[in-house]
Amino acid sequence: MNKIPDDFVAQPRPTADSITKEKSIRSHSAAGLLSIPKNGLGFGGSGLDTDDEAFASSFQITAAKVPAMDKEGRKVIGQMMDE
């Protein structure tokens, strides 16, 4: 059975804002793209969320072209490959 250890400490959200200055490597114009929120990991919600809610949408994978993700400012950081 899976159980969180008693000494487990959740990681806080990062405080560095350097990622906000970085551009996405490409637009969300294809399926299989891996993206993160515009302000980085831990900032996937409104900014007033609990840590669990803030990290909930940290990584998203596109199933098709999703231009709305570009408007949200999400950053593409990779692409899933199938060989």
pLDDT tens-digit profile of 15-31?
656 677 788 889 999 99
How far apart are alpha carbons 38 and 73 in whole angstroms? 5
For residue 58, the model assigns a pLDDT of 82
Strands (E), the chain: 33-36, 60-61, 75-79
Q: What is the pLDDT of residues 30-78, one digit of tens each?
A: 999 999 888 877 776 666 767 677 777 788 999 999 999 999 889 999 9
CA distances from 19 to 9, 27, 42, 76 (A): 25, 17, 12, 12
